[in-house]
Structure 1
């Protein structure tokens, strides 16, 4: 790698990770070497790109501008090299951001055959139900679930699957409190609602072509799907879940479906990528694989 390309690659990883040491570990360089390379880049450009303190690293205005262009140039070089090698020899690192429960139960199992087919490719996964900033966090592909239009319209996106949403509760809770027979009765029950994603206080049902929105009483608010599922299994109330995410709990009898005659709007599963409509070969390959592998349900 030429000095200029190395400077660019090192700077991008420092900016994305916010850490000299982490960037060094990923690039197999010592922290002093990373600091020296970034310093040489700043000296050559005649401007400060990074503001460093003992606790954090942040971008200057010049650094933000350089980061955007550097990412684009590095992506073009990688694309050219990948085109020469062919899609069957993917290399390097691809960084994924996954929601915790859907990522664990659907996405990660689907990656097994993909990694076996591309042994020289490394996958770095971050799991969180919070929406990550794809640019500042250096994410190549984020998997997101939601009802309605995408918020990140400036990014590239592909719909991977449509998953059925259900109203669920533990059999013990239903034995103790009774089972609602229509959405209007949910006001009499404890409901568990998730912040963000599709855990809204207003649940929208369709029955016999009639749409009804019900404001549910939120007994418990939780910011993760796995927490919602755990609370429902523990008999703390009625919740929303997808069949994919709660499949094991249905099979073992820990959860039962409620209001089966009423249909909720399904959740859409999307792959979001910050490289625009023409992502890198690695991104295209993994998105194509997930689109073919994720099971609707």
Structure 2
């Protein structure tokens, strides 16, 4: 049942086999035996793809529920201190490296039978097909993936930053309005908005910025800002090292940007598994720092 669920979610016998440490022929034999036992075809298989039949879709819905219940029953028998297995955790690259990974050490020490597989990417994963147990999402405004279960973990301040070299060559903006004449760096997806919204003394100002450079990852945006290619938005967590070392400087400190919020998103609905609840509880306690 677990093998079938992973094949159905990933859409691939070979991918499911790699994740479950089984050969593709073994996966195929397991699925065939399950279909023979049920007397129904669950998957339509071609050389390039795997898709669910109507019977397979119905069985997958029930199977996922039963597998979750089995895991809960096993965990209840072992006790709260014996979580085991694998947690597939997805996180943005820079936030994952600078905030999440340091927070994992005490969690893993507390649960020696657990293994965490991190997927670090600034692209949004498909939680179902990528087999992700929990993903961290960072953004401003309404949370996407609203059909999944979610929990807010942290709120992080956003800053306007630039390198001393850029400021020496182009001047330091004194107000948000002056950003319109500067080169700015934008990131696809995360904070990639060409209108930056500031508040000051209960007055809100929106500034349309001009971006000569678009980058699809936060490390790239940060590297471009350090290299003097323009002014960028960053969170204090992401740019903390560069600000402390003087590679970047904060601009417009009297003006506030809307904070970014960090959410844990999980595909199993509002009641995730014990191991997912455990890591989400830990991250909620560890990440919500000034």
Q: TM-score, normalised by structure 1?
A: 0.92
Q: Is the 8 A contact 1:199 1:240 kept in 2?
A: no
Is 1:172 aligned to residue 165 of structure 2? yes
**Superposed CA offset, 1:209-242 (max 9, x none):** 1011111112111121111111111111000000
Residue 88 of structure 2 is matched in structure 1 by: 95
RMSD of aligned C-alpha atoms? Answer: 1.6
Is 1:242 aligned to residue 219 of structure 2? no
Residue 216 of structure 2 is matched in structure 1 by: 223
CA distance in 1, matches of 2:280, 2:65: 20
Q: Is the 8 A contact 2:8 2:51 kept in 1?
A: yes
SS in 2 for 1:191: strand
Structure 2 unpaired stretches of 5+: none
Structure 1 unpaired stretches of 5+: 1-7
Shift of 1:286: 0.3
Q: Is the 8 A contact 1:198 1:267 kept in 2?
A: no
Residue 198 of structure 1 is matched in structure 2 by: 191
* Pairing partner for 2:31 from 18, 38, 55: 38
CA distance in 1, matches of 2:95, 2:259: 14
Residue 146 of structure 2 is matched in structure 1 by: 153
SS in 1 for 2:101: helix
CA distance in 2, matches of 1:103, 1:264: 22
Q: How does 1:28-107 map to 2 (within 5 A)?
A: 28-107=21-100
SS in 1 for 2:88: strand
CA distance in 1, matches of 2:156, 2:6: 35
* Pairing partner for 2:264 from 271, 278, 286: 271
SS in 2 for 1:157: strand
* Pairing partner for 2:178 from 177, 180, 185: 185
Identify the range of structure 1 (170-179 vs 149-158) with the bigger mean alpha-carbon deviation: 149-158
Shift of 1:69: 2.3
Shift of 1:57: 3.1
C-alpha change, 1:64 and 1:223, in structure 2 (3 Å) is farther
C-alpha change, 1:180 and 1:211, in structure 2 (3 Å) is same
C-alpha change, 1:61 and 1:104, in structure 2 (3 Å) is farther
SS in 2 for 1:260: coil
CA distance in 1, matches of 2:157, 2:244: 16
Q: Is the 8 A contact 2:153 2:288 kept in 1?
A: no
Q: Is the 8 A contact 1:10 1:34 kept in 2?
A: yes
CA distance in 2, matches of 1:188, 1:127: 34
CA distance in 1, matches of 2:129, 2:155: 28
Shift of 1:295: 4.3
